[in-house]
Amino acid sequence: MATGTLTIDLDAICANWRAMDRATAASVQTAAVVKADAYGLGAARVARALAQAGARRFFVAATEEGAALRQILGPGPEISVLSGHMAGDTDMIGDLDLVPMLNSLDQITRHLETLPGRPFGIQLDTGMNRLGMEPDDWAAVAGIVLEARPQLLMSHLACSDMPDADLNLQQLDTFRALTDGLGIARSLSATGGILLGPDYHFDLTRPGIGLYGGDPFAQAQKVVTLSLPIIQTRMVEAGEYVGYAMGWQATAPTHVATLAAGYADGLPRALSGKATVWAGDIPCPVLGRVSMDMIAADISHLAEVPDALDILGPQQGVDDLAAIAGTIGYEILTSLGARYARRYVSGTSA
């Protein structure tokens, strides 16, 4: 094959969800965030596996994602939409039994007028200044909204991957001030918030990146392996160059492999001259620039030419690769290209 193979370990995703679930009290529900097509890994397979593992509530970013997920999961599991109730979403929300997390006065009005009596949640801004109702706006409408009985009051931590950040405690205090004593289920924490401890857990948690093997869940099982086929090899003599703009020059005869993947497949151009691919546990440096469809690697030290080299796997996870590129694991995962052959592994089946 002239495209890479992305192997996704569904058992590892489910094990990570169970670990997140065990990190909270039995009274705390553990949801699963499967937005962006399950962080690029394929919601059709990932969400089904998580439902079989015990997840009964799922979060997506947009109503369209919720509609697709309902077709995947069927009736039963609750699907919450973080962007709320946007104009034009009413039919999908109503017909497919989605639960919007309302973020503004306009969304509250839209939902209560067009879908009266249908479930909803409220998202509050506690200091991230990204999405959710401001405290003053919430104070103005809380009485009306609470009469309609929202299913959930939620907010989102801005610095949960920075345990010592003062903003974590500030947001916790604000969330409590806005929601204490209301008798409505509450949710503040995604993966990082779960790891901050019980004070942040409330009634429901929403792990996302931790399910997929990413930081800050350091104990997460690795989920993905990305193997890139070698499509050609050559000897490059001393003084010759490899790749665009003479990106790398050989100082000695070098056995170079050309691999089938590039920035069109989600490998950032920032990896140029910095990344490593792996033959088992043997590192092979990437040479020169990452181009649209190809990268080159030094395989001079390998006893045999393998069929493929791994850029993600046991030796190099998504956060390791992201650090090399100066980004985060989220971006690596969600950018993995459509050309890869996706292979799902669960138990002994693939």
The crossing angle, in degrees rounded to 10, of helices 105-114 and 135-147 is 10
Burial 157-184 (b: 16+ CB within 10 A, else e): bbbbbeeeeebbeebbebbeebbeeeeb
Q: Which of 35, 39, 212, 344 is catalytic?
A: 35
Q: How far apart are CA 73 and CA 5, in angstroms?
A: 26
Question: Percent helix, strand and coil across the chain, each rounded to 5?
Answer: 35, 25, 40
Active site (annotated) includes residue 35: yes
Phi first, then psi: what are they for 192, rounded to 5°?
-60, -40
Q: How far apart are CA 52 and CA 70, in angstroms?
A: 15
Q: How far apart are CA 263 and CA 343, in angstroms?
A: 21
* Torsion angle of C-alpha atoms 215, 217, 221, 226, degrees rounded to 10: -10
Helix/strand number for the chain, H first, E second: 11, 19
Q: How far apart are CA 242 and CA 185, in angstroms?
A: 58
Maximum distance among all Cα pairs of the chain, rounded to whole angstroms: 77
Angle at 57 between CA 103 and CA 110, to 5 degrees: 30
Q: Which of 212, 244, 263, 344 is catalytic?
A: 244
Active site (annotated) includes residue 222: no
Burial 263-273 (b: 16+ CB within 10 A, else e): bebbbbeebbe
Question: Which positions are annotated as active-site residues?
Answer: 35, 244
